[in-house]
Structure formats: structure tokens, C-alpha cells
Amino acid sequence: MFIDKAKIYVKAGNGGDGAVSFYREKYLPSGGPDGGDGGHGGNVVFVVDTGMNTLSDFRYKRKYLAVRGENGRSKRCSGRHGEDCEIRVPKGTLVYDDDTGRLMADLSSVERAVIAKGGRGGWGNQHFATPTRQAPRFAKPGIPGEEFNLRLELKLLADVGLIGYPNVGKSSLISVVSEAKPEIANYHFTTRLPVLGVVRVAQGASFVMADIPGVIEGAGTGVGLGFEFLRHVERCRMLVHVVDVSGSEGRDPITDFDTINRELAVFNPALAELPMVVAGNKADLATDEQLAAFRAEMEARGLPYFEMMAAIAQGTDELVKHLAARLPELPPIKEYEPEPLTMAELDAEADHTVKVTREDGVYFVEADWLLNTMRTIDLDDYDALQYFQRLLQRAGVIDALVAAGVQEGDTVSMYDFEFDFVY
């Protein structure tokens, strides 16, 4: 099943906590602090798998978690770093932050992309020893890993895209010029999914062609499967517009041509600017007057035009040779630049906000980062308590309490730690 959109949740590993430990030996009872650092958390890494061509795997698994770093240990031993979580995706996958819409990576030319970074490990108490504080009973906690709700979109990588009304011969064309074997039948929407084929022109020379289905009148505004597959055209370097020049289904070929081009422009104006070649198919069913009228119209518009009978591969060689000659002159397949974080997002990442509420005369302080810090501090130790007070001052917790109206002697509660406020 061809799936080109998916939503998943990813979480990088948290960093391990630094250790609070003291060196002990038989004849060395006061060896000093030797708590090791915590290990770094694992990253969430997207890896291109050339054997994949769909996002169908993400229908069944939507949560991906990297391993957290191990906590530090005694004897200055650092914790082990967490293993990365590798997510395999097809080439051409775009990764978006689903909450903000920001493009994070385009896996078209790069083979690997780190999407969520693991948290750094916290320092052990060995780093906090000073001449006046020789037995620190606190350490730094590990930093949480990044987490995102992601939206994945696959946009096929093709040099040439085939567009045109259903049943005009696009599948027949790609089947005779490449090794692709799409289903071919004489009814509309036989091709329900995009088809890729490699067109080999000469030894060592080839290009990729894509049959884009579902392009009909109204596709640019979402009619039928328009939105589903029109985005695959955006990667193409040039387009081949296949037209039934015989009007075998009672439609006018020139009207068909204009209708499809209009839908491309409605969906994305840049598509209307792509180089285009016109292939007049089913020439054997057309009258001389029909062929002459359509050829004259295309020449008047300055478009390269080729007549063919795709079902029997007549006239297709000339088309392929023309495409192969044009492609080296065109820009490479379009790639999308990842978007940087906005100032608001940067501020949110560095968020150290503190929530202060007052109930029954007690001031309650809440902050996620504060809870993590308190886990690694022995608040019964004088040096550790002094360190914690300086941390509260630097982080703006004291200012937040004063702004909330706290007075000398009021009770302040920080999770399971309570104290009387002294300013």
C-alpha cells in the first residue's frame, strides 16, 4: 500500500543524573567526592532506506523513544550514553514539526538527520568540590531529551513527471520506456498510485520518470485525489503533458490541455513555470485535421511537441531522446531548506518559567526544571542548601516569590520541601 503521509511522536533520551558519592578506602576515610557524570541521552535519527518507497510502516507504530543515559557512578565513573533511536524512511521524505509546521529536514540528499537531540548528562559531585566546600552533597540532574510530534510527507524524487487526464496513455508510456509495470486498462483511474520508472537512454545515462495519477478538473482545489498526488509533481524537473489528440472520449484536446495546466497553477503557481513537453498520444485514432490543429496550437505556444502511439511504442524514442538532452540543462531536483527556529520557539526551549500560587497562606512553587534539580541535592546538607539558594536566586525564583507578595516568615513549598521565607 502506498502511504505518503504519517504522523508520529518521537522522544530523545534524557541525560543521566550526576552521582553524589565519596571515595572510601580502608586507610583513607576522607578521600573526597568521586561522583561520576551521567551519560548523554540517545538521539532520534532519521535514516534514508533506499529499499523503502512508502511510509506504510508508520501506520502500525507511531511512538519512537531513544534510550536515556545511565546515571553516574562512584569512583568517577560516567554513566553509559543512551543508544540512538534510528527511524528508517524512504528517500525524499520531509519531516515537519506538526505543532508549529516548521520543516525540520528534507531527506533527499542527506542520508541521516538528527531530529531530536538527547539530553546532556548531569555533572557528578566531583565537579563541585572547592577548597572551602570539600564534601558537596549535590550533583546536577540530566537534561531532558527533545520531543516532537512530527508530520512526515513523502514527495517522490523524479526528473520527469507525466501529467494529463485519466486514460490518455500515461501508464502505457511509462511501461514502454522504462521497466515499470503499472496496471493498464481502458477505463479511468486504472492507475491509483504514483508509479516510478527508470528510463535508460544509453550506457550509464538514465533518468527517473513518474506517472502522477488523479489530476483532473478541480484537482488543484482538492477534488478527487488532487491534493493526494499533486505534491509529487513539485519535485519534478520537467513535465510531460500527455494528451489524447484524437478526442476519443468526446473531449477537446486543447481544452484538456488548458484545464490540467490551470489545475497545476491553482495548486502551486511554481508548477506552471516548470519546463513542459507535450506528447500527443493516440495519434492513430486522430484525423489529419485534428493532428494538424493541435500541432499548430502547441507550436504557437512555443512548446516542444511529439506525436506518438504509446501502446505500440511508436514515436516514444524521439520523446525520450529529447528529454535526455534537455535534463542536463535544468536545475537539479528541488530540495527544501530546513527552517530555523523562530524567536518564540527559542524562548520556549530555554523556558525557565516558575509558577507561584498562594493557598491558605502557603506559597507553592512549581517548575519542571526545579523538580529535576531537587532530585540530586541533599537539602539536609548545609553546603548543598547554600548551593540551592544561589540557584534559586539566579533562576529568578526568589524574584517570582517577591512579585507574588511573599513576606518574611511566610511558608514556601517546593514539592516535598518547605521552608520559611527569609529575604
pLDDT tens, 258-268?
Answer: 988 888 888 88
Mark whether 52 and 94 lie in a shared domain.
yes
Mark whether 229 and 94 lie in a shared domain.
no
Total residue length of the chain:
423
Q: Which of 65, 51, 33 is nearest to 136 (CA)?
A: 33
Is 343 part of a structural domain of the chain? no
Model confidence, pTM: 0.71
Q: Considering 137, 154, 171, which residue would you say is the last residue of a domain?
A: 154
pLDDT tens, 163-178?
Answer: 888 888 888 899 899 8
Pairing of strands 362-366, 411-414: parallel
Residue 114 has pLDDT above 50, yes or no: yes
Percentage with pLDDT > 70 across the chain:
88
| Torsion angles phi and psi, residue 346, rounded to 5 | -65, -40
Question: Quick check: 414 and 373 in contact, CB under 8 A?
Answer: no
Question: Quick check: 115 and 150 in contact, CB under 8 A?
Answer: yes
Per-residue DSSP letters for 139-204? -PPPPPPPEEEEEEEE----SEEEE-STTSSHHHHHHHHSS------SSTT---S-EEEEEEEETT
Task: Give the Cα separation of 218 and 213 in Å (integer).
Answer: 14
Model confidence band, residue 393 (pLDDT cutoffs 50, 70, 90): confident
How far, in Å, are 1, 7, 337 from residue 48 at the CA level? Answer: 19, 17, 17
Is 316 part of a structural domain of the chain? yes
pLDDT tens, 371-390?
Answer: 777 777 777 777 778 888 88
Model confidence band, residue 220 (pLDDT cutoffs 50, 70, 90): very low
For every residue of 25-54, which 3-state class applies, written as one string? ECCECCCCECCCCCCCCCCEEEEECCCCCC
Q: Considering 99, 130, 154, which residue would you say is the last residue of a domain?
A: 154
Residue 100: CB partners within 8 Å, gap ≥ 6?
342, 345
How much is the mean pLDDT over the chain?
84
Q: Which of 310, 315, 316, 278 is nearest to 297 (CA)?
A: 278
Task: Give the Cα separation of 8 and 413 in Å (integer).
Answer: 38
CATH number (domain holding residue 305)? 3.40.50.300
The reported pLDDT for the residue numbered 229 is: 65
Q: How many CB atoms sit inside 10 A of residue 81's CB?
A: 21
Model confidence band, residue 361 (pLDDT cutoffs 50, 70, 90): confident
pLDDT tens, 44-75?
Answer: 999 999 888 788 889 889 999 999 999 999 88
pLDDT tens, 270-318?
Answer: 888 889 999 999 998 999 999 999 999 999 999 999 999 998 989 999 9
pLDDT tens, 396-418?
Answer: 888 889 888 998 888 898 877 88
Domain membership of residue 69 as a residue range? 1-154
Q: Please classify residue 361 by burial: count the beta carbons closer than 10 Å to its beta carbon, then call 0-12 exposed, 13-18 middle and 19+ buried.
A: exposed
Mark whether 171 and 284 lie in a shared domain.
yes
Report the chain's C-alpha Rg in angstroms: 32
C-alpha cell at 117: 537531540
Is 337 part of a structural domain of the chain? no
Mark whether 314 and 168 lie in a shared domain.
yes
Percentage with pLDDT > 90 across the chain:
34
The reported pLDDT for the residue numbered 204 is: 67
Question: Quick check: 92 and 194 in contact, CB under 8 A?
Answer: no
C-alpha cell at 39: 551519560
Report which of residues 338 and 160 the model is more confident about. 160
Farthest-apart Cα atoms in the chain, separation: 108
The reported pLDDT for the residue numbered 222 is: 46
Mark whether 225 and 199 lie in a shared domain.
yes
Report which of residues 222 and 387 the model is more confident about. 387
Mark whether 149 and 166 lie in a shared domain.
no
Residue 224 has pLDDT above 60, yes or no: no
Q: Considering 121, 154, 187, which residue would you say is the last residue of a domain?
A: 154
The reported pLDDT for the residue numbered 369 is: 72
Q: What does the DSSP 8-state code read for residue 6?
A: E
The reported pLDDT for the residue numbered 238 is: 93
Mark whether 132 and 211 lie in a shared domain.
no
* Per-position b or e across 273-282, b if 16+ CB within 10 A of its CB: ebbbbbbbbb
Is 334 part of a structural domain of the chain? no
CATH number (domain holding residue 356)? 3.30.300.350
Residue 416: CB partners within 8 Å, gap ≥ 6?
none
Q: How many domains does the chain have?
A: 3
Mark whether 1 and 60 lie in a shared domain.
yes
Mean pLDDT over 121-127 rounds to 89
The reported pLDDT for the residue numbered 29 is: 67
3-state secondary structure of 68: coil
| Torsion angles phi and psi, residue 219, rounded to 5 | -60, -35
